[in-house]
Amino acid sequence: MSGLSEPVAAYLATRRALGFQLAGTGQLLEHFAAFAEAAGADTVTIELALQWATLPAGRSRAWQAQRLGAVRGFARWLQATDPQAQVPPAGLLPGRPRRAVPYLYSEADITALIEAAGRLNPSWKAITMQTLIGLLFTTGVRLGEALSLDRGDLDPDSGVLTIRQAKFRKPRQLPQHPSATAALADYAARRSKLCPRPATTAFFVSTTGARLARTTAQETFRRLLRETGIYQRAGGLRPRLHDARHTFAVTTVLGWYRDGVDVQARLPLLSTWLGHADPRHTYWYLSAAPELLALAAERLESRPAAI
């Protein structure tokens, strides 16, 4: 038996514990393990992965890229315990356009960004960006959803934020932590003083009194990334404002694992909160966090053996 058969089985069990079905990927990796056995290999090499991915001859580049992508995910996981394992680089067999790998912000990153936003001029721009960044990281809402909020979408008494301009036209209500509600209400109070006769119903208002524009928010955030040095610490990734959403999802699930709750039972709730039309999109958000895979593996190892 190839030395990769057991690691492949462990990898698939770990990913499935996070809610991934991996029917097709599972079959591909089992076939790869058999191929490695026939070749006498006991770890992943780029050459071995490339040889297997391009079989059978004459298949499309998209087919080859899919096969290599399955090995790449496994190799990345395997490398944590087997330093000899090689991870095939992305783009080696380019196929269909790939989603950008998300950058997961640390607590220190988030603190640095909010503090840097507080130094923006004029002061209203600072307050607006601080509140917007805080909202994105604490709720995981999309940037477009946040900028589409109107003044009546926050109920400070109940602490409920209503997302009306949602993707797929599915409005949802998000109960806020009291501290988040207080921060949003404080911003609303300052905004009312700044614009007592508003020309817009927008919750987030620019320095001109208009609804805050997406381009303004994104350009300002990129400036904050440069000022805090996060671009240089990103390990080759390109941090984006949208990655606040990924960070929220991963942080939420990490908290569930550490609290010992049934993660698979709660994942549909997270999908609903994020406004995903299909839970598969939520599962993809979680695939970029090695710490999640480690916790899932630990949970599997702690289960009593089946009789």
* 167 noted as active-site residue: yes
| Closest to 123 (Cα-Cα) out of 55, 76, 192, 191 | 191
Query: What is the C-alpha to C-alpha distance for residues 287 and 290, in angstroms, rounded to an integer?
Result: 8
Set 72, 105, 276, 283: catalytic member: 276
* 276 noted as active-site residue: yes
Query: What is the C-alpha to C-alpha distance for residues 120 and 272, in angstroms, rounded to an integer?
Result: 35
Set 16, 242, 266, 299: catalytic member: 242
Set 142, 191, 211, 246: catalytic member: 142
Query: What is the C-alpha to C-alpha distance for residues 264 and 42, in angstroms, rounded to an integer?
Result: 32
CA 192 and chain centroid, separation? 34
* 193 noted as active-site residue: no
Long-range (24+ apart) CB contacts under 8 A made by 129-134 are: 129/217, 129/220, 129/221, 129/224, 131/183, 131/184, 131/187, 131/204, 132/204, 132/212, 132/217, 133/221, 133/244, 134/180, 134/183
Set 59, 167, 226, 238: catalytic member: 167
Set 245, 246, 257, 283: catalytic member: 245
What does the block give as tokens for 262? 């049934």
> Does residue 163 contact residue 157 with C-beta atoms inside 8 Å?
no
In which order are the strands placed within the sheet that holds 160-163? Answer: 154-155, 160-163, 172-175
Q: Which residues contact 276 (CB under 8 A, 6 or more apart)?
A: 282
Query: What is the C-alpha to C-alpha distance for residues 103 and 240, in angstroms, rounded to an integer?
Result: 7
Provide the annotated active-site residues: 142, 167, 242, 245, 276, 285
